[in-house]
Structure 1
Amino acid sequence: MPRATHQGLLRFGDIEIEVAVLDDGQRVITHRGFMIGLGRIRPPKGRQYYRNGANLPGFLTVKNLKPFISDDLVKTAGQINFRTIQGIKAFGYTPNFLRKVCEVFARARAAGVLKATQRTIANRAGIVAKQLELADMMRLLDEAAGYHETRET
């Protein structure tokens, strides 16, 4: 199982998302960081996924979002198991997963189908998406994790 060599926080204003660089070179957004960053403060009781086996967090499996979930998003959702610097087993997602989830909420908002409880996530996803448009995701993640100094040497 890969192990984190660097960990840190991506910051988008007051939104913080935990990230890591693994010893095999993968960059990941931790599941915990992903959930908290998008406003899902309470971790779900047991992870819920689509019945067809897609590895999506439960809040993406609701009926009103289903039309906005692309096959590409489902492919990107595969969890990456790793150990933190402290040796704790964790899992996360590829950096592109965050961008694609932000797109889901932008399309759902534009279609007017968001429920009141989803608007906070959509607002936070909108802030993150704007910042991601302005920056290279890998560079942001490397800098947040303190890996850019290692990479440059």
Structure 2
Amino acid sequence: MPQATHQGALRFGDIEIEVAVLDNGQRVITQHGFMAGLGRIRPAKRRQYHRNGANLPAFLTAQNLKPFAHGDLLVLAKQIEFRTQQGVKIFGYAPSFLQKVCDVFARAQHAKVLKATQLNIANRAQIIAEQFERSCTMRLIDEATSYREICKTQTRRNSYRREA
């Protein structure tokens, strides 16, 4: 099972999304970070996900979102199991899954099919999507976890060793 080597949080105003870089180089958004980032901070219920084919978070299985939740989203919904730096087993998602979810809410909002209870998620999704448009998601995660700085430092050390 992969383990996080670096952890941090993306911050967009009052939105905070926990992220990690795993020992295999994969960047992930933690399941908790994904849910909290979209404003879904209620405690998880026993059966957090519907088992109707795709492993989508329950809030994405709403009837009014079904026309927008298809294709890549269903493939990207696969959870990534990993251990935190402290050794705790948790789940996460590929960063592109969050981007696709933001797109689902943008398209549903444009089609004017969102319910009042979904507007907060749509607003948060818009803020997140705007940040992702401005900068590469992997770069944002690397900066939030200080992964880039450590990689640069290790590269410098290795080149000094080769020169010596």
Pick the TM interval, shorter chain.
over 0.9
Identity of aligned residues (%): 66
* Contact 1:50/1:61 (<8 A) preserved: no
Listed one character per residue, the Cα deviations across residues 77-125 of structure 1 (whole Å, up to 9, x for unaligned) are 1110000011110010001011100000000000011011100000000
* Contact 1:31/1:93 (<8 A) preserved: yes
Cα distance in 1 for residues equivalent to 2:50 and 2:18: 22
Q: 1:47 aligns to what?
A: 48
Compare CA radii of gyration and give the structure with the larger one: 2
C-alpha displacement of 1:13: 1.2
Matches within 5 A, 1:1-150: 1-45=1-45, 46-52=47-53, 54-150=54-150
SS state at 1:82 partner: strand
Letter in 2 for 1:51: N
Cα distance in 1 for residues equivalent to 2:113 and 2:122: 11
List runs of 5+ in structure 2 lacking aligned partners. 156-164
Cα distance in 1 for residues equivalent to 2:6 and 2:129: 24
Q: Which runs of 4+ in 1 moved over 4 A?
A: none
Q: Structure 1-normalised TM-score?
A: 0.96
Q: Structure 2-normalised TM-score?
A: 0.90
Cα distance in 1 for residues equivalent to 2:148 and 2:56: 30
Once superposed, what is the RMSD of the aligned Cα atoms?
Answer: 0.9
